[in-house]
Structure formats: C-alpha cells, structure tokens
Amino acid sequence: MAKIKFTKTELKAQKDALARFRRYLPMLQLKKQQLQSEIAHINADIDEAASKRDGTLGAMRKWARLFADPGAPVEPLCTLAAIRTAPGNIAGVKIPLFKSATVEQPEQDSWSTPAWVDDAQRELASLLTVRAEISVLETQRELVATELRMTSQRVNLFEKVKIPECRENIRVITIALGDEQTASVVRGKIAKHRNTVSEL
C-alpha cells in the first residue's frame, strides 16, 4: 500500500478516487459482458463457416481421386488472390469485417481437360473463400479476446485492489483525524485547566 498522509486533503482525495472507481467499474463490467457476448457470436460464425468448409471438403472427396488420372490438370485450378475487408468496431475494438475473397481461376481448355474440372474449380473457389472468411473471423476473435483480457484485468484491479485500498485508506485517515481531534480537545482542556489553576 502506498504511504498516505493523515490530512483532510488526503481524505478528500481518497474519497474522490473511490467515487471515480465506483463510477467506472460498472462501465468496465458492461464492456466485459459485451466482449464476452461478441466472442460467443464470433465463435458461432466460425462454427458455421467451418461447417460450410467441411461440407465443401466432403463434396470434393468424391472427385479428388480424379486428379490421379493422366488427363487431370497439373497446374493449380485456382488461387486466392486477395481478401477484401472493411473496418468494424466492437465495443471500442477495431476489427476487420469480411467482405469478399478474390479467387483467380485460370481458364481451362474445354476440349483437352476432363468435364469434372469445371466443378472442381467451383468447389475449390468456394473452399478458398470460406477459408478466407474463417481467417478473418479468427483475427476478429483474437483482437476481441485481447481486449477482453485487458478489460478483465481492469475490472479485477478495481474490484480487488483499488476500491478496497481506498476504503481502507479512508478508514485509517478518518481514525487518525478523529484521534488528532480528540487529542486537540484534550490538550485544550488541559491548557484551560492549567490557566484556571494558575489564576488561583
């Protein structure tokens, strides 16, 4: 505990600090609840996107063995070129919001490639888009989780350290000031008694 002065000024400063901590604590607790709620929403979005990804992978397994055929293309059927995001804000935390993914699909020669290649390209493009969305959602979750950790630390600091510390300081200063006032009254009475005795 920091050293405190046993003065009325210090008592007022401690009371002001306690009032300030009590005023900010509910706001921090509300922010903590909002962040926890947002993490739950983001997790649900990730689960939904992962389910889409798993469905696409399941559909792809049907024709994945076709890549072993001699006529199958050797070069990649599609590549992820860019991910478009927009700035977002959750309880004061800046996050990226997934908008779209740009998937480049090289044109295939319809006469020299098997018919299933077009379907494969579509499925792969869909898979790359879903993976990009999951990546952005995971970034969101990481940013919100970091802010949640910091907010939780502040809530704990206020609840378990600052507010009890201020209360204890106020109690100690009040006792010290009361003792000082009592001693002052006693000294005054003693001095008055001495003056009365010396006059006799």
Judged against a pLDDT cut of 90, whether residue 190 lies above it is answered with no
Name the residue with higher pLDDT: 109 or 26.
26
Q: What is the pTM of this model?
A: 0.78
pLDDT at 91: 84
pLDDT (tens digit per residue) in 48-57: 999 999 998 8
pLDDT at 116: 67
Measured in Å, how far apart are the chain's first and last C-alpha atoms? 52
Judged against a pLDDT cut of 80, whether residue 63 lies above it is answered with no
Name the residue with higher pLDDT: 27 or 111.
27
In the chain, what percentage of residues exceed pLDDT 70? 86
What CATH class is the domain 8-190?
A: mainly alpha
18 neighbors 170 (Cβ within 8 angstroms): yes
Report which of 134, 170, 117 is spatially closest to residue 43, judged by C-alpha positions.
134
Alpha carbons 139 and 87: distance in angstroms, whole number: 12
pLDDT (tens digit per residue) in 108-148: 666 666 666 777 788 888 999 999 999 999 999 999 999 99
pLDDT at 2: 63
Task: Sort 102 into a burial class: Cβ within 10 Å, 0-12 / 13-18 / 19+.
Answer: middle
Domain ranges for the chain, please list them. 8-190
pLDDT (tens digit per residue) in 146-160: 999 999 999 999 999
pLDDT at 110: 65
